[in-house]
Structure 1
Amino acid sequence: MSLANDARFWDRSSRRYAKSAIADEAGYARTLERTRALFKPDARVLELGCGTGTTALRLAGHVRAYLATDIAEGMIAIAEEKHAAAPVPGLAFRVATAETLAPGEGPFDVALGFNYLHLVRDLPGTLRRIHALLAPQGLFVSKTPCLGDMTPLLRLALLPAMRAIGLAPHAGVFRATELGAHLQAAGFEVLASENHATKGGENRPFIVARKR
């Protein structure tokens, strides 16, 4: 498997993904509310792994500029269709990752990574790249499935089997404590770690980290 394979997986999945329902509407609403509270009206925001643009379309109207990116062309195509139907000033979509954005794209005041970090192939490297794209004291806000804290059946049997037959992309396995350590090693100070889930026992912490 490679990064190109991951992009193809999400391209193939984009239309099905767009039709899927949000599993925890109340938890998602809490995440949106908490994130909006961190924004300033003149902020420049970068969203990584934006999927089909649902979150970007709900948040972009609260800041000056919002760049939403995803690895998959199919995801971005759907996001742009949604944006054309309901335009939001200052919002732009682009096929990109943290690693492919040019240094001159920043600095951003806030970077968002929702359901993103477990999908990257080099977590320490990606976090360092996000750090470099942020302005001094900029915020990185994430909500990440920590598969290392979930049932062993999922991470040791089910997920590898699904990847082997092309039904799942690459997924990194780490615990919430390990993610916190990676953030600190990349130059971030963790300001908050919260659980926004309103049902189920999954460990998907909402983390606010500030660039040191």
Structure 2
Amino acid sequence: MTATAKFWDGIAEKYAKSPIRDIESYEHTLQRTVSYLKQTDQVLELGCGTGRTALRLSGHADTITASDVSPGMLAVGRRLAQEEQIENVVFVEADANRPPNWAYDVVMAFNLLHLIRDLEATLAGVHEVLKPGGLFISKTPCLAQGGLGFKFGLLKLLLPIMQLLGKAPFVSQFDIKTLETAIEKAGFEIIESGNFPAKPPSRFLVARKL
């Protein structure tokens, strides 16, 4: 088991019980995502965590493959799916750099890309498994954008110490332009963008495979 998987395994149950911090931004993200989904879509979510989002979106697609590197997170997701009697969400253990080998209409990655060590490889993998003209829908905290305020500035200073103590995962800090450039270089055209929330900016992007 990798250190990343071990970290997320260790907090899976606590994470599942934690309320969504910004419910308004979360619901708006779901609303915008739903507007792009079709009932016939085969969807892949990378870094699904406990599957909360995949389960919420399950009624808007044919099937959703919810993937994550953490067996502990996936176990919670399977339990929730069973409790909610949702049968079209399949939970699969997979690294974001090596997505399940299938052809998808939509790939989603919410609050994930800043936790990836090799963003270029992940985006290449997304491009590979998407059907021609398929959509990549993501939302990513851009922690190098600036103007984060005192609280988040302090967290950034403490992050290396927390990581050494095993209390925080790897976190990549980039700005919006860097993120969007990487996605475009990977062979995508950005067709929608927005910040939900605006501060610190969590960049919502919809990109079409070229």
TM-score by length of 1: 0.92
**Counterpart in 1 of 2:9?**
11
CA 94–102 in structure 1, closer or farther in 2 if over 3 Å, else same: closer
- Provide the secondary structure at the position in 2 that maps to 1:131: helix
**Counterpart in 2 of 1:154?**
155
Post-superposition Cα deviations, 1:63-116, rounded to whole Å, max 9, x if no partner, equal 11110011100000000010111122321111112333343xx21000000000
Partner AA of 1:5 in structure 2: A
1:144 to 122, 140, 165: 140
Query: How is 1:1-212 mapped onto 2 (pairs within 5 angstroms)?
Result: 4-103=2-101, 106-150=102-146, 151=148, 152-155=153-156, 157-197=157-197, 201-212=199-210
| 2: CA distance, partners of 1:83 / 1:18 | 13
Asked if the contact 1:141–1:209 (Cα under 8 Å) also holds between the matched residues in 2, the reply is yes
Partner AA of 2:25 in structure 1: G
Deviation at 1:201, TM superposition (A): 1.9
* Displacement over 2 Å in runs of 4+: 97-103, 150-155
| 1: CA distance, partners of 2:100 / 2:77 | 22
Asked if the contact 2:103–2:131 (Cα under 8 Å) also holds between the matched residues in 1, the reply is yes
Asked if the contact 1:111–1:139 (Cα under 8 Å) also holds between the matched residues in 2, the reply is yes
Partner AA of 2:45 in structure 1: E
| 2: CA distance, partners of 1:112 / 1:101 | 11
Deviation at 1:174, TM superposition (A): 0.8
| 1: CA distance, partners of 2:158 / 2:145 | 15
Number of equivalences:
205
Deviation at 1:51, TM superposition (A): 0.7
Unaligned ranges ≥5, structure 2: none
Deviation at 1:41, TM superposition (A): 1.0
Partner AA of 1:162 in structure 2: M
| 2: CA distance, partners of 1:21 / 1:66 | 23
| 1: CA distance, partners of 2:121 / 2:188 | 13
CA 66–208 in structure 1, closer or farther in 2 if over 3 Å, else same: same
Asked if the contact 2:47–2:96 (Cα under 8 Å) also holds between the matched residues in 1, the reply is no
Unaligned ranges ≥5, structure 1: none
- Provide the secondary structure at the position in 2 that maps to 1:61: helix
- Provide the secondary structure at the position in 2 that maps to 1:147: coil
| 2: CA distance, partners of 1:108 / 1:179 | 22
| 2: CA distance, partners of 1:56 / 1:100 | 19
TM-score by length of 2: 0.93
- RMSD of Structure 2 on Structure 1 (CA): 1.4
Asked if the contact 2:81–2:87 (Cα under 8 Å) also holds between the matched residues in 1, the reply is no
Asked if the contact 1:48–1:111 (Cα under 8 Å) also holds between the matched residues in 2, the reply is yes
